[in-house]
Homo-oligomer: A and B are copies of this chain.
Amino acid sequence: MRPHRGYHHGDLANALIRTALAMLPERGIQALSLREVARRAGVSHSAAYRHFADKEALLARIATQGFERLTAMMRAAKSACAPDPLRRLRNIGLAYVEFGRQHPHHLQIMFGGQIGDLHAHPELALVAREAFDELAGTVREGRRCGAIRNGDERTATLASWALVHGLAMLLAGGRVRLQDPRDADSLALSEGVVQLLQTGLIGKNGD
């Protein structure tokens, strides 16, 4: 409550993460400095090094939280619909895209190349794999019950991932602009795109 006075109460690590997340929308990831994060959190710049090995470790923790949230959104989407693998795959894909729209800066940190090697941060590598497995497991299920009949497993999984990942990245990076990011237009578009992978461009059914 008193910002610039001595010790920080309790959990400085999370306070730094929250401060960094609040700064990202203001000036972008490019301008994010550890010194300013510490300054805004009301501690000296060197205090951060008690909690994070370096700047990349802070970004890795933010990325980790991003993957955890992404996984949670995909699981919620899976539970919220009938146990039909194709519906589930569709909903999981939509959740992925929705995550990117809601948390563009998380997505940039998770995939933007700031963090060179995932495996330098074991916790991050773990949650990234869990998120991937959520999607991969649903594709496998779809193939097992015969709903997905084209392509081998690896190809079908990668295509599903690439499609929603690409759309999420384009939305997060502002390359695809929508009238109003909060309205139904974006959802309708995402639904159409995700649906297209299931039915194929060639198809027979209009829309």
Contact A28 B116 (CB under 8 A): yes
Where chain A touches its partner, the secondary structure class is helix
State which residues 23-45 of A face B: CB under 8 Å. Answer: 28-30
Contact B170 A165 (CB under 8 A): yes
- Residue A19 CB within 8 A of the other chain: no
Contact A192 B28 (CB under 8 A): no
Choose one: B30, B159, B164, B170; the contact of A193 (CB below 8 Å): B159
Contacts of A192 in B (CB 8 A): 151-152, 155, 159
The contact size tier of chain A is 35 or more
Closest to A114 in B: B30
Q: When each residue 143-165 of chain A gets 1 if its CB lies under 8 Å from chain B and 0 otherwise, what string results?
A: 00001111110111011111111
* Nearest CB of chain B from residue A134's CB, rounded to whole Å: 15
Give the 8 A-B residue pairs with the shortest CB-CB distance, closest first.
A200-B200, A166-B166, A150-B203, A162-B166, A155-B192, A165-B166, A162-B167, A159-B196
